[in-house]
A and B are shown apart, each in its own frame.
Chain A
Amino acid sequence: NAGVMQNPRHLVRRRGQEARLRCSPMKGHSHVYWYRQLPEEGLKFMVYLQKENIIDESGMPKERFSAEFPKEGPSILRIQQVVRGDSAAYFCASSPRQRGITDTQYFGPGTRLTVL
């Protein structure tokens, strides 16, 4: 079974450009989470999605950031008009159908975004 897949692994953008990060969850997983990690820090929750639904976006900046998890295809985290402060590692995690409590989340290798 393939694990959580993310691409690209490294992404370089100039200020003002758009960044699109993709995440394919593990087979059979219908829940996707995005986290951001700044250097030397822990991961910070951004958004939690199920197919075609955003369940919790409490950690996502109100402007420039958006996420989707369409019926078909990977989940996409989109950052418009990137700024240097967006430089970070972005991790996606997935989990199987929830049973009412938080279960194990399996993480992808991350996308390292560098904004020049």
Chain B
Amino acid sequence: EVQLVESGGGLVQPGGSLRLSCAASGFTFSSHAIHWVRQAPGKGLQHVSAISSNGRNTYSADSVKGRFTISRDNSKNTLYLQIGSLRAEDTAVYYCARGYDSSGLIDYWGQGTLVTVSS
């Protein structure tokens, strides 16, 4: 069974930083691209970042570029999102999600971790 378990969320002050983690199991982690998608309270879904299966290629949305860094450790089956210079508008549930193949199809999602940016 494919499982993605996020952790690391919490309350952080504006300008602060956090590192989110996503522990994967039930599939060959090193064979899949992984995405971060966020959802602000009561709002829709926004693709934030993605990383290729080998970690060499990454993508970050313009709204987070330079502030968020995605990385992965295939030896630990774990994905990371370092988020910094946080703003109130970064408040959201952050989901990690598995890319099925190179098409961009996302087939499985984690349960999410809530990041709240507030003073």
Do A and B actually bind? Answer: no
Tell me the B residues contacting A by CB distance below 8 Å.
none
A contact set with B: CB distance below 8 Å: none
